[in-house]
Structure 1
Amino acid sequence: MPLNSPQQITDLTIHAGIRKASLPLGAILVLGFLAGAFIALGFLLDIHVSTLIPPAWASLGNLLGAAVFPLGLILTILAGGELLTGNMMSLPMAMYAGRVSALAVARNWLLVTIANLLGALFVAYFFGHFLGLTEGAFMAKSLAIAQAKVNADFAHGFVSGIGCNWLVCLAVWLSYASKDVAGKVLGMWFPVMAFVAIGFQHVVANMFIVPAMIFADALTWAQFVPNFISVFLGNAVGGAVFVGLAYYLSYSKALEAETQSVATTTSTTTV
């Protein structure tokens, strides 16, 4: 399985951030909608798999649900999508490298947040509520998950958000490590499964499950907003600092030195 080195992944991530910052509005909105829907579909699959497991095996059900949740990120990375949590790593890394502005990062995050929300709301309403896939036999499980998220206070939501996006961005980072599809899927699978099994909070996933319960008249928008803010900020720190900044500081200088060394060698050889 051919692999990219951490230095190469750093370069790939920076260039990904540059590309994302320059995407036209239409592409951001369409790809953001798709990514929000993909994450929601992964969550919907999680709920169905875990609910169908007998209550006596609830722990196994939770593990199996977490094991299928990565579908959302796999679709986003391989099929194409703009996901807020991944962009919380790639765009800051491009900003640290001086290749994009803070304003460009803020613009992308704002537009992708709106687009992800629309995609997640689409799945929550039409699949979750209209088709009843988060209600009826699945209502108890869906409501328990949503209540656990909105009942967390600001500090707990924030810290849980850090843990979540630390793992999610590591999943994206590992997808850049591999040069083939199987390696990318495997690299993404375990970090995402881990954050779901642990119970960390993902802002885009919450855009699906909490509104699904709002559409079922079990929760309110007033409960969603504080949770959204705390998890958004935690996810931003997890992606931009614990992965983006950490690896930029660790590998960007080595990458620059390696590039300069190659350039010097090429120049000497030419002379």
Structure 2
Amino acid sequence: MSYVTPGEFVRKMIDAGEGKVFMSTRDTMIRAYMAGAILALAAAFAITISVETGQPLAGALLFPVGFCMLYLLGFDLLTGVFTLVPLALIDKRPGVKVRCVLRNWGLVFFGNLAGALTVALMMAVIFTFAFSMEPNEIGQAIGKIGEGRTVGYAEHGVAGMLTLFIRGVLCNWMVSTGVVAAMMSTSLSGKVLAMWMPILLFFYMGFEHSIVNMFLFPSGLMLGGNFSIADYLVWNEIPTLLGNLIGGLTFVGLTLYATHARTAPSRPISPEAGFVPEPDRVTD
């Protein structure tokens, strides 16, 4: 069967986190760069579909194609390593230290940013004919997204900041679920289907993804969005990063690790209860 049980794929999660910790700087940066670039292209693709069809759901349905491509190609998003890499530390894998986790996060952050910025510049050139004319309809839509999701939050003050943070938490709860879901199957079709569903949910619901935003907001600034770099950093990127970290690690990484890698002893059940549970593997 192509289905992988939770106990098995959680071990895969820990192994994947350990592998990323010890990956060379060159490979980490290349994989992160390509992940940021592909996800940015997928965001541009989804917005184009939404604008041209007038149906946001159509864009959301097709956005996961980018996520599936980058995952299957073995590239790394910051949202995914937020969830996987700390598990190697928590599991006390040899040689994995806090500084190793922070190194990986830093390299992936800058790699994702470079990839997203590259595509942001390319798409801005396309939307404006190399800045020789006003942005087309799609470029204008990206500029409006940047305004609404920076100064739009700022208008609500603390309530806006909390909303932004929670959207970041919910985003990586779903995105990291997609990363983990791909480990549930050994078949290509099973991996794609499992990834598609949570990524569709996050995009359509308008949750905040730090890497998607590395494309949307710099691109929006190039296309005449009425907000500043400071607005982007304070009223989107930084709170979104923190929300993504907490959402992925807390609701996906730690919960799965706690109940499938370090399971609690089962309570004995008498034969009169009518069934006997399968024994859980207990890790000391």
Contact 2:7 2:261 in 1 (8 A): yes
Instruction: Give the aligned partner of residue 130 of structure 1.
Output: 125
- Secondary structure at 1:132's aligned position in 2? helix
Deviation at 1:154, TM superposition (A): 2.4
Of the three residues 72, 82, 85, the one matched with 2:76 is: 82
Structure 2: how far apart are the matches of 1:192 and 1:141? Answer: 22
Contact 1:36 1:116 in 2 (8 A): yes
Contact 1:178 1:184 in 2 (8 A): yes
1:70 maps to 2:79: no
Instruction: Give the aligned partner of residue 148 of structure 1.
Output: 148
1:40-60 Cα shifts (integer Å, max 9, x gaps): 01101101111111xxxx4xx
Contact 2:146 2:216 in 1 (8 A): yes
Contact 2:210 2:241 in 1 (8 A): yes
Q: Give ranges in structure 1 of 5+ residues lacking alignment.
A: 261-271
Deviation at 1:242, TM superposition (A): 0.9
1:46-99 Cα shifts (integer Å, max 9, x gaps): 01111111xxxx4xx111101111122111110121110011110122121112
Structure 1: how far apart are the matches of 2:281 and 2:257? Answer: 15
Contact 2:40 2:119 in 1 (8 A): yes
- Secondary structure at 2:262's aligned position in 1? helix
Contact 1:39 1:71 in 2 (8 A): no
Provide closer, same or farther for how the CA distance between residues 217 and 89 of structure 1 changes in structure 2, counting only shifts above 3 A: same
Structure 2: how far apart are the matches of 1:236 and 1:3? Answer: 28
Instruction: Give the aligned partner of residue 189 of structure 1.
Output: 196
Bigger mean CA deviation after superposition, 147-156 or 189-198: 147-156
Contact 2:36 2:111 in 1 (8 A): yes
Contact 2:37 2:116 in 1 (8 A): yes
Instruction: Give the aligned partner of residue 235 of structure 1.
Output: 244
Structure 2: how far apart are the matches of 1:145 and 1:16? Answer: 35
Count of aligned pairs: 253
Correspondence 1:100-249 to 2 at 5 A? 100-126=96-122, 128-132=123-127, 135-150=135-150, 151-152=152-153, 153-218=160-225, 219-226=227-234, 227-249=236-258
Provide closer, same or farther for how the CA distance between residues 255 and 212 of structure 1 changes in structure 2, counting only shifts above 3 A: farther
Letter in 2 for 1:117: L
Q: Give ranges in structure 2 of 5+ residues lacking alignment.
A: 129-133, 154-159, 266-279
Contact 1:8 1:255 in 2 (8 A): no
Deviation at 1:255, TM superposition (A): 10
Letter in 2 for 1:37: A
Runs of 4+ aligned structure 1 residues displaced above 3 Å come to 254-260
Letter in 2 for 1:91: V
1:3 maps to 2:3: yes
Task: Name the larger-Rg structure.
Answer: 2
Structure 2: how far apart are the matches of 1:43 and 1:5? Answer: 32
Letter in 1 for 2:245: A
Contact 1:160 1:231 in 2 (8 A): yes
Deviation at 1:9, TM superposition (A): 1.0
- Secondary structure at 2:208's aligned position in 1? coil
- Secondary structure at 2:149's aligned position in 1? helix
1:18 maps to 2:18: yes
Structure 2: how far apart are the matches of 1:108 and 1:9? Answer: 22
Contact 2:124 2:139 in 1 (8 A): no
Letter in 1 for 2:121: Y
Instruction: Give the aligned partner of residue 43 of structure 1.
Output: 43
Contact 1:135 1:142 in 2 (8 A): no
**TM-score, normalised on structure 1?**
0.89
Letter in 1 for 2:198: P
